[in-house]
A = this chain, B = another copy of it.
Amino acid sequence: MGRVNFVKFKLNRFEYVKPFHITNSISYDTENIEVVVELDNGIVGYGEASPSFRVNGEKVQVLLALEPVINEMIVGMDVREYRKIFDETDKLKAAPSIKAAVQYAVLDAFSEEIGVPVYQLFGGAKRELETDYTISIGTLDERLREAKEIVARGHSVIKIKVGENLEEDIQAVIAISEVSKGCKYIVDANMGYTPKQAVKFVTELYRAGVDIAVFEQPVWMFDIEGLKYVRWNSP
């Protein structure tokens, strides 16, 4: 068999080791929802939703209220026909993070049932994934200390949060690059710059010899003309 017996949500609260500061937002903790899918043969699959009100408009209390809805949707369905479960849960258009967590839990249970890891199910394209480590917005000293810690821990992809103060950001990224030679940099302005500021930012970094791998959210997300301007005026 492999039919869904029940779906259960569990709220987990995580406190950050230190505050996480990005443009217009400082957070001290996060609340994630763990999704447990139990099958009638006792197999259990797990998923996790990390909702963001800022990004998706999702509220944790609202997502928790979906537990009975999702049970009604998929209890009794067979994970060996997970595409049918996906077709049902794809209707959760206003709750993308919980939808993804439920679907992943279903895949996890299917994977357990057939004894094949999920990464092989989808073709085993990679055996390793490199993740980045993030430097919050802070004073130059704080940022440099974080950069040195990250390099010491062996990471080689660094995400740098910028977007609140153009001149400080430029100086900080240059200084960070000097203490982390050989690393790749993702700079993330979380929509904090104007289009002209964003172009000035990358142009000055380019002149200083700092190569940026990804420039994330330079300007306001709906400013399509501004994004085009940044795209066509970046070095």
Contact = CB atoms under 8 A, between A and B. Distances in A.
Interface of A: 78, 80-84, 86-87, 114-116, 120-125
A82 B121 CA distance: 9
Contacts of A80: 120, 124
A84 B114 contact: no
A123 B80 CA distance: 6
A81 B114 contact: no
Contacts of A115: 114
Contacts of A125: 81, 83-84, 87
8 contacts: A81-B124, A81-B125, A83-B124, A83-B125, A84-B125, A86-B123, A114-B115, A114-B116
Contact of A123 (B81, B114, B120, B124): B81
Contacts of A84: 123-125
Contacts of A120: 80-81, 114
Nearest to A120: B80
Contact of A122 (B83, B87, B124): B83
Nearest to A115: B114
A142 to B, nearest CB: 41
Contacts of A121: 121
A116 to B, nearest CB: 5
Contacts of A83: 122-125
